[in-house]
Amino acid sequence: MAVSTSYKNKKVIGIGITSELTGLSERQIRYYEERKLIQPDRSKGGTRKYSFEDVERLVDIANKMEDGMQTFEIRKEEMKQSDVRNKMLRGQLNAAFKMRK
């Protein structure tokens, strides 16, 4: 039986371990969540749960902040990258199904 989700996507890491892995304080991690740069899952009790991909994302955010970027710039950059990925995917689907605009 094939596993549908990579272990990197599973949100199972608490904020304390995430803090240790990233070198960020729990407050910094919560701030990035407030700024909509990261979206942890929540347990029934409200505990934040992060994935390894989230950990990598947080390290990337911290590096960009250290280089002088602001949170709104990081979010804007991410939105541009998402738009490019969506356009590429649409192009691939159009080519695969020989669709026209």
Residue 3 located in a structural domain: no
Which residues form the domain of 51?
8-97
- Residue pLDDT, tens place only, 85-99: 778 888 888 888 876
Q: What's the pLDDT at 52?
A: 96
Residue 77 located in a structural domain: yes
H or E, element range at 82: helix 71-97
- Residue pLDDT, tens place only, 6-63: 889 999 999 999 999 999 999 999 999 999 999 999 999 999 999 999 999 999 999 9
Q: How many Cα atoms occupy the beta-carbon half-sphere of 81 within 13 Å? A: 6
| Beta carbons within 10 angstroms of residue 100's beta carbon | 4
Q: What's the pLDDT at 100?
A: 57
Q: What is the CATH number of the domain that holds 88?
A: 1.10.1660.10
User: Does the pLDDT at position 74 exceed 80?
Assistant: yes
In the three-class reduction of DSSP (H, G, I as helix; E, B as strand; rest coil), residue 48 is classed as strand
User: Does the pLDDT at position 4 exceed 70?
Assistant: no
Tally of domains within the chain: 1
